[in-house]
Amino acid sequence: MPKTIKPVVATYADLSTAPNFKQELFAQFARVGKALSNGNRLELLELLAQGERSVDELARVSGLAVANTSQHLQQLRQAGLIVSRKQGLNVFYRLSGDDVLSLFESLRAVAGRHVAEVERLVNTFLTVKDTLEPISREELLERTRQGRVTVLDVRPPEEFASGHVPGAVNVSLAELEGYLQKADPYQEIVAYCRGPHCVLAFDAVVQLRAWGLNARRLQDGFPEWKQAGMPVETTDNVMQASDKGTLPR
């Protein structure tokens, strides 16, 4: 006669013999929270949301020392938020997944809704420069397809090369004046950069309007555009301002 195997049923009493389970689980969740609890690390995440970067590049753009940048990156990597690869003597980092960007966006949104100081800072340093409603992603996509708008990406060239809004022209703030002298004064211009709080787009709009041009900002930045599933161009068809005598019509 075959031996009967009785199923093992865990009872509440059995589960209660592991009182540290929830504590350990939440401690692992807290590792992510701890990694996000530093402003410099959040800025590094925003930079990595633009595309893969080396430690040296991240240090240069963020203004941090290379050693300090490396330490922050290690903490982000240990929390599973970024991954790295080595190429020769250089180490390159990127976000570990799209969900990391979603987490960053959620953190930013919660802080914007519930932390009064965030609203004060945004109003003092950004909104004061541009009080007009930014253009939505959907509206910008429709206008670009109709040829009714010129799109300016004011991020650094390496970020533009990693991905950008289709048809966008890469123009730095330093190059803006020279190239806008050739712009069609009747063509609307939309500027964007790294995200909704990126000062580059705000400053670009201020300069554009000072030249009497019709300029607006994109509601977010390139990472949010890509995250929303909008079409993206990469380095295969990059168009920088230095490559063109005039802006596209």
Question: Is there a single domain that holds both residue 158 and residue 199?
Answer: yes
223 and 150 within one domain: yes
Same domain, 135 and 93: no
Q: How far apart are CA 101 and CA 98, in angstroms?
A: 5
Q: Is residue 75 part of a domain?
A: yes
Look up the pTM and report it.
0.83
At 245 the pLDDT is 36
List the end-to-end C-alpha distance of the chain, in Å, as a whole number: 86
Among 101, 121, 146, which residue terminates a domain? 101
- Low-confidence residues of the chain: pLDDT under 50: 13, 237-249
Q: How many domains does the chain have?
A: 2
As a whole number of angstroms, the distance between CA 18 and CA 16 comes to 5
CATH number at residue 209: 3.40.250.10
How far is the C-alpha of 157 from the C-alpha of 170, rounded, in Å? 7
Torsion of CA 64, 70, 76, 79, to 10 degrees: -150
The 3-state secondary structure of 201-234, one letter per residue? HHHHHHHHHHCCCCEEEECCCHHHHHHCCCCCEC
Are residues 92 and 188 both part of a single domain? no
CATH number for the domain that contains residue 78:
1.10.10.10
Instruction: Determine, yes or no, domain membership for 116.
Output: no
Token couple for 5? 């195997």
Radius of gyration of the chain (CA): 23
How confident is the model over 214-223, as pLDDT tens digits? 999 999 999 9
In a domain, 226, yes or no: yes
Specify whether the CB–CB gap between 41 and 76 falls below 8 A.
Answer: yes
Say if residues 144 and 165 touch (Cβ distance below 8 Å): yes
Same domain, 97 and 139: no
Active site residue 198: no
The predicted pLDDT at position 241 comes to 41
| Distance between CA atoms of residues 57 and 3, nearest Å | 66
Domain stops at, among 101, 119, 142? 101
**Catalytic hit among 193, 198, 200, 208:** 193
Cα gap 196→192, rounded to integer Å: 9
124 in a structural domain: no
Among 62, 81, 101, the domain-final residue is: 101
The reply to whether 202 and 143 lie within a common domain is yes
Q: How far apart are CA 116 and CA 159, in angstroms?
A: 31
59 and 141, same domain (yes or no): no
The answer to whether residues 86 and 142 belong to one domain is no
Task: Tell me how far apart the alpha carbons of residues 126 and 122 are, in angstroms, rounded to a whole number.
Answer: 5
Q: Is residue 141 part of a domain?
A: yes
Same domain, 238 and 136: yes
Q: Provide the domain limits for residue 188.
A: 130-243
Both 96 and 48 in one domain: the answer is yes
| 48 and 153 belong to one structural domain | no
Q: Is residue 123 part of a domain?
A: no
Residue 115 lies in a domain: no
Q: Does residue 117 lie in a domain region?
A: no
Do residue 83 and residue 141 come from a single domain? Answer: no
Tens of pLDDT, residue by residue over 129-146, are 988 889 999 999 999 999
